């Protein structure tokens, strides 16, 4: 059986996306709409297309025809499906503040909402499936994000040095992270306006004059207001001040586990996550925000951001970005014309070429030529090699040895 196939992903035109990066990567002419994400995976909402001897078929259907042959015995027994979803993201306007549930909580929440008869497409639905959604991202450019609560010392300093927030300092001192976050998230719209309107009036002129740096929460708060079409003031502005603002350089990674509140702010990245669409939102979005449910899942503790630079492998060609997630493993492969990358897949893998052109071939003589933006599917138990005639950069998604 052939084990190497061409794979074509699906574009998602979410409003926060950029206009140029993904079209340039894929070699397509952009239309007048945003290009936010490019999905490579078997998620039922947007399955990739496999080109096989029998024509084109959705990846989820293709794998379901022979799970063990495609995924490998261990992955089939553990997950019963492709356990990950691979994406390219182009973040122009900041994403919603969000947190992901644990696997146990996702199963409970999904079951309960099903029993309540809430349609999967309902805007107030919290759980779209029964899976957790840990995720890792590797920056393809300078990338900015919010990631977890500031340390107690830093957050106290922010509250005491921001005039509009000084009244919140005693709340934080007395009731900690949970008390502070609950206090602002449970505010009435009028209370939120009373606090945040003076802040916005103070920082917007500075933003418009280019006097704020990206390491300053005021920069992102002002940008959020400028890019919003909503006349009300979003409570997510608080989180911009409460969370770590993290700058990630090209080739560096950050892992988001269950419970860590986060939001992507700006830049391009490769993202690899468990095969799920479960998101509990905390602001910077017109979508449903279920505050009581959100509060159940946030890790109310200080987070010191961990920038992952990856582990270089013995071949000197591959760099693996390790994470505690059992569902996936992300790596970068850099090749020059004298290099040969050799590997054997223990489970299904997806590769995408970010720069250059490569030739992917297996030991049985099947060859697949991939240009920039093109992707390949490698089934389990396949000995394969990748070469280039110049230089190339690829990213690979696989399931770790479970």
Q: Which pLDDT tens digit goes with each residue over 216-228? A: 999 999 999 998 7
The percent of residues in the chain predicted with pLDDT above 70, rounded, is 99
Whether 280 and 113 have beta carbons less than 8 Å apart is answered as no
Tokens describing residue 378: 């490698």
pLDDT tier at 202 (50, 70, 90 boundaries)?
very high
Kindly report the average pLDDT of the chain as a whole number: 95
Question: Given a cut of 60, is residue 402 above it in pLDDT?
Answer: no
pLDDT at 275: 87
pLDDT at 227: 84
Kind and range of the H or E run holding 391:
strand 391-398
Task: Tell me the mean pLDDT in the region 146-150.
Answer: 98
Whether 94 and 263 have beta carbons less than 8 Å apart is answered as yes
Task: Tell me the mean pLDDT in the region 136-156.
Answer: 98
Q: Which pLDDT tens digit goes with each residue over 101-113? A: 999 999 999 999 9
- Please give the residue that has the higher pLDDT: either 137 or 130: 137
Find the DSSP H helices in 79-216.
103-115, 152-161, 169-185, 189-208
Question: Given a cut of 70, is residue 392 above it in pLDDT?
Answer: yes
Whether 19 and 91 have beta carbons less than 8 Å apart is answered as no
Whether 341 and 387 have beta carbons less than 8 Å apart is answered as yes
Task: Tell me the mean pLDDT in the region 318-333.
Answer: 96
The residue ranges of DSSP E strands in 249-317, in sequence order, are: 253-256, 262-274, 280-283, 311-312
CA distance to 158, 177, 183, 234, per residue, from 186 (Å)? 21, 14, 6, 12
Q: pTM of this prediction?
A: 0.94
Q: Which pLDDT tens digit goes with each residue over 190-200? A: 999 999 999 99
Whether 209 and 218 have beta carbons less than 8 Å apart is answered as no
| Domains, in order of start, for the chain | 10-145+248-285 (2.60.120.10), 154-242 (no CATH), 312-398 (2.60.120.10)
Cite the active site residues.
281
Whose CA is closest to 276, among 398, 106, 123, 95?
Answer: 106
pLDDT at 92: 96
Task: Tell me the mean pLDDT in the region 200-210.
Answer: 97
Classified as helix, coil or strand, 296 is: helix
Which residues, in sequence order, are CB contacts of 368 under 8 Å at separation 6+? 4, 5, 6, 359, 360, 361, 376
pLDDT at 66: 87
Q: Which pLDDT tens digit goes with each residue over 339-383? A: 999 999 999 999 999 999 999 999 999 999 999 999 999 999 999
pLDDT tier at 84 (50, 70, 90 boundaries)?
very high
Q: Which pLDDT tens digit goes with each residue over 268-305? A: 999 999 988 889 999 988 888 999 999 999 999 999 99
């Amino acid at each position: 059986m052939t084990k190497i196939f061409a794979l074509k992903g699906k574009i998602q035109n979410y409003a926060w996306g950029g206009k140029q990066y993904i079209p340039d990567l894929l070699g397509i002419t952009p239309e007048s709409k945003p290009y936010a994400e490019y999905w490579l995976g078997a998620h039922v909402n947007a399955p990739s297309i496999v080109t096989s001897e029998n024509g084109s078929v959705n990846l989820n259907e293709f794998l379901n025809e022979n799970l063990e042959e495609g995924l490998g015995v261990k992955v089939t027994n553990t997950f019963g499906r492709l356990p990950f979803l691979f994406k390219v993201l182009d973040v122009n306007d900041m994403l919603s503040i969000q947190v992901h549930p644990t696997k146990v909580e996702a199963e409970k929440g999904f079951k309960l909402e099903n029993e309540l008869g809430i349609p999967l497409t309902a805007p107030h639905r919290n759980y779209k499936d029964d899976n957790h959604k840990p995720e890792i991202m590797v920056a393809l450019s300078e990338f900015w994000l919010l990631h977890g609560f500031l340390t107690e010392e830093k957050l106290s300093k922010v509250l005491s040095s921001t005039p509009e927030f000084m009244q919140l300092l005693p709340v934080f001192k007395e009731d900690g992270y949970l008390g502070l976050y609950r206090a602002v998230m449970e505010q009435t719209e009028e209370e939120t306006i009373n606090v945040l309107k003076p802040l916005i009036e103070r920082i917007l002129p500075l933003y418009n004059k280019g006097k704020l740096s990206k390491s300053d929460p005021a920069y992102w708060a002002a940008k959020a207001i400028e890019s919003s079409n909503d006349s009300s003031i979003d409570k997510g502005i608080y989180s911009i001040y409460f969370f770590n603002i993290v700058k990630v350089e090209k080739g560096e990674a950050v892992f988001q586990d269950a419970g860590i509140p986060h939001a992507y702010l700006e830049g391009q990245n490769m993202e690899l996550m468990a095969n799920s669409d479960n998101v509990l939102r905390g602001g910077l979005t017109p979508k449903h925000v279920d505050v009581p449910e959100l509060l159940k899942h946030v890790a109310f503790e200080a987070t010191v951001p961990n920038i992952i630079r990856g582990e270089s492998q013995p071949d000197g060609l591959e760099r693996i970005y390790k994470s505690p997630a059992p569902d996936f493993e992300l790596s970068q492969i850099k090749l020059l014309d004298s290099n040969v990358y050799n590997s054997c897949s223990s489970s299904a893998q997806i590769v995408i070429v970010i720069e250059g052109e490569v030739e992917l071939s297996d030991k049985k003589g099947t060859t697949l030529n991939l240009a920039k933006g093109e992707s390949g599917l490698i089934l389990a138990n396949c000995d394969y090699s990748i070469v280039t005639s110049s230089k190339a950069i690829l990213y690979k998604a696989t399931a770790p040895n479970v």
